Structure 1
Amino acid sequence: MFSITINLIQLFQLIVLIFLASILIKILKLFCKRWKLIAAMKPFPGPPAHWLYGHALEFSQDGTDLDKTVTWAKKYPYGHQVWFGPFTAYLAVYHPDYAKALLASSEPKDDVVYRFMLPWIGDGLLINSGQKWHRHRRLLTPGFHYDILKSYVQEIAESTKIMLDENGIGLSDEDLRAEVDTFMFEGHDTTASGISWLLYCLAQHPEHQQKCREEIRELLEGQEKFEWEFLSKMPYTTMCLKESLRLYPPLPGVSRKLSKPLIFPDGKQVPEGRIFQNLLLFEQMIVNRAPTSINPTLRCTCSLLKLDSCFAISN
């Protein structure tokens, strides 16, 4: 009996020892991860971070979070590290040279930030990636092509058939719901936000509002209705719209996770596995002027796809 008791105590001690050892190993792995993160982020200094909370306490969720981001972007115009806790770090990039290096790559969406929206809009095009994303994109593209606006009802009906019957393999009910929720969010909400900010910008700058009004009045003179072709004949109004989107983008950032090292034009390198947040606030710094002022005439050649032209104009 005494021997059995001793064996039980030894077994209990062994279990406790194994348990403590496993916890210690996990702690060591976490700290190894932190050391690697610190080394990876070292070339990109940022605002001071709390040793435990990181920068989490800087975001008070009182409506001023993006203001904090703008402040950091001004102080660190190329990019900087952002910590959420001691073991999670992002690299926020702003400068066009950095953004081009990231956006020109085929890196996948990160598996942290976008997953927060999964319960809201489902696993649609905004969130999914890989083969599933390519398949959904192929099936959905006919239903949302730009030319559909010309013959709205008939084309939508035909495209719906294509989505459901192409190659005999359509989207499941769950997939369809996720894509509808995604397009409601990406299309309806963002469009409403973009229009609202455009009206706000024009109200703040009546001189540009008057030019838009004159352009549209001239275009509609003698016309009984607004035609599709008129959309390409409103250059000044279009430039005002793009300026508004530059200043107040409905979706101010994208996030990517590196599957391979990324080298920036200045030679700085980030290893694979790191997560980027490319905040589109960098567009405010493309031209050499106050980032909150409006100058539609610069929009004729300025775009995210023609950054060199923007620099040529600003210099």
Structure 2
Amino acid sequence: MTFMTEKMAGTPYHLLLLSLGFSLVYVLMKAIQLYYKRQTQLKALESFPGPPSHWLYGNIHQITSSREELNIMLDWAEKYPYAYPQWLGGFSCILISNHPDYAKTFFGRGDPKDRLTCESLIPWIGKGLLVLNGPKWHQHRRLLTPAFHYDILKPYVAKIADSTKVMLDKWEKLIAQDPTKSLEMFDHISLMTLDSIMKCAFSYKSNCQTDRDLDYYVKAVSDLNYLAFKRITSGVLQNDLLYLCTPSGRHFKESCRLAHHHTEKVIEERKKSLQNERELEKIQQKRHLDFLDILLCAKDENGVGLSDEDLHAEVDTFMFAGHDTTASGISWLLYSMAQHPEHQQRCREKIQEILEDREDIQWDDLSKMTYITMCIKESLRLYPPVPGVSRQLSKPITFFDGRTLPKDFLIAINIHGLHRNPAIWQDPEVFDPTRFSAENSSQRHPHAFIPFAAGSRNCIGQQFAMNEMKIALALILLRFEILPDPANLPIPIPQLILKSDNGIHLFLKKLK
């Protein structure tokens, strides 16, 4: 009896030792894997000097504040003019470039999005066009391209104008209440661009600008933008289970739920309308289907439509990309106009010449807005809505200068740095729309200006975005003079979208 008791008592002890032994072996194997991973990356980067890096912390910790991040990266880009390694920790590295010849090679290959970005975005936007790769990406791209044909974009002009006018009416009331107070632009413009994309791409009418019934969605997207970017650049918290145990992870999960609630509502309402034979007949008789029509009605060669998962992913992707990036572009454009009243006035005069006695903007007017387009492009140069893009190499790469990287390495193009590269742009910090005259543009490297990326994976909605920026700017300048708020100058910070840490505050003066 005593022998049996001792044997039973010893069993948990032996199991504990065995478990501890397995744990030590696992930790040792992981340590060896990390060591060899670091050594492999160091060898690959021998020809790429960069900022000093700690073996454990990397060099990302040198960026102590999001307010300083863009300036520090510009300093690094000046010291290492072609490319430099940025270590997110001791074992995770990405090569950053701000040179057009590197961008040309980078965008000419069609490499997939990097794993870190995909894993951070998929819980939010699913496996849509933004993160898909291979045959499925090609299938979705072919499927969605017709949704951005110019014949479909034409009737959107009036819808975008209507949404813009709602915003301008709100502004009139606000400045009438207190003309001494500046307005924060991004909040208002984000609601306007959300209203526009819902009317245009989803044929969904909301009162989000007046009733603010979608404030929760705009707030969720803003939070997801910040949280996803911080996760991508943290160098840690890549494990989903570990991340969801943190306050940020729980916040991210809740924000995803709120964002999905909105997009699911849009999809379900359209599906219900399709069950009505009369509504279905109306859609089928449309000369051109909108974005959601295409998603719901599309069939492949075998007659199979998109799965619910694919449908939701594309709606989540375009609901985000179709309003948040454009809101960033318009907000920074207005700031640029406020800072440069001479260009603002010239744009206003050109718009008045084009419209003459008309108040409504028409499709044909957009192509006549030559100087306005130059100002928009110069603003996009200084403040690109997407400050950088990254890829994971599907095969080894050789750059124009002979330097190489192996398969699976992470590489990013710092679009913000590329657009301010003094080797490409004279006086890069100066706002000069004439850079985009036909003559000057023809002499520039084709990859020196890439606000919508480039290559096969460029932004599918770039023409829609440019049209929306032209319409919004034209209508705003016809009604208001835009003035800066010296006490609240914006502080650009890079997230997934370029934003301002303290908002974009401008004074508006009603024109007589």
- Give 1:46 deviation, angstroms: 1.1
Residues 193-208 of structure 1 mapped to structure 2, 5 A cutoff: 193-208=328-343
Q: Which runs of 5+ in 1 are unaligned?
A: none
Matched positions, count: 309
Asked if the contact 2:298–2:306 (Cα under 8 Å) also holds between the matched residues in 1, the reply is no
Q: Which runs of 5+ in 2 are unaligned?
A: 157-202, 204-285, 450-512
- Give 1:140 deviation, angstroms: 2.2
* Alignment deviations for residues 175-209 of structure 1 (CA, whole Å, 9 cap, x no partner): 22221221122111111111111111111111211
Structure 2 Cα separation of the partners of residues 76 and 60 of structure 1 = 20
Give the equivalent residue in structure 2 for 1:290.
427
Structure 2 Cα separation of the partners of residues 269 and 228 of structure 1 = 47
TM-aligned CA distance change 1:36 to 1:190, over 3 Å:
same
Task: Determine whether 1:242 maps to 2:374.
Answer: no
Task: Determine whether 1:104 maps to 2:108.
Answer: yes
Residues 40-55 of structure 1 mapped to structure 2, 5 A cutoff: 40-55=44-59
Give the equivalent residue in structure 2 for 1:256.
391
Q: Secondary structure at the match of 1:64?
A: helix
Q: Which amino acid aligns with 1:150?
A: K
TM-aligned CA distance change 1:309 to 1:41, over 3 Å:
closer
* TM-score of the superposed pair, with normalisation by structure 2: 0.55
- Give 1:172 deviation, angstroms: 2.6
Structure 1 Cα separation of the partners of residues 329 and 298 of structure 2 = 34
Deviates more, 1:169-178 or 1:179-188: 169-178
Q: Which amino acid aligns with 1:292?
A: E
* Alignment deviations for residues 198-242 of structure 1 (CA, whole Å, 9 cap, x no partner): 111111111211221121111112445322111111111101100
* TM-score of the superposed pair, with normalisation by structure 1: 0.86
- Give 1:11 deviation, angstroms: 9.3
Q: Residue 401 of structure 2: which of 266, 278, 288 is its match?
A: 266
TM-aligned CA distance change 1:171 to 1:194, over 3 Å:
same
Deviates more, 1:149-158 or 1:286-295: 149-158
Asked if the contact 1:124–1:175 (Cα under 8 Å) also holds between the matched residues in 2, the reply is yes
* Alignment deviations for residues 271-296 of structure 1 (CA, whole Å, 9 cap, x no partner): 11110011102122264422211111
Give the equivalent residue in structure 2 for 1:220.
355
Asked if the contact 2:419–2:448 (Cα under 8 Å) also holds between the matched residues in 1, the reply is no
Structure 2 Cα separation of the partners of residues 72 and 99 of structure 1 = 17
* Alignment deviations for residues 88-137 of structure 1 (CA, whole Å, 9 cap, x no partner): 11000111111111111121111112321222222221122222222222
Q: Which amino acid aligns with 1:284?
A: R
TM-aligned CA distance change 1:189 to 1:156, over 3 Å:
farther
- Give 1:310 deviation, angstroms: 6.9
Higher relative contact order (CA 8 A, sep 6+): 2
* Alignment deviations for residues 242-275 of structure 1 (CA, whole Å, 9 cap, x no partner): 0100100010111011121111111111111110
- Percent sequence identity over aligned pairs: 48
TM-aligned CA distance change 1:309 to 1:125, over 3 Å:
closer
Give the equivalent residue in structure 1 for 2:504.
none
Task: Determine whether 1:123 maps to 2:116.
Answer: no
Structure 2 Cα separation of the partners of residues 29 and 183 of structure 1 = 39
TM-aligned CA distance change 1:145 to 1:39, over 3 Å:
same
Structure 2 Cα separation of the partners of residues 120 and 303 of structure 1 = 38
Give the equivalent residue in structure 2 for 1:86.
90
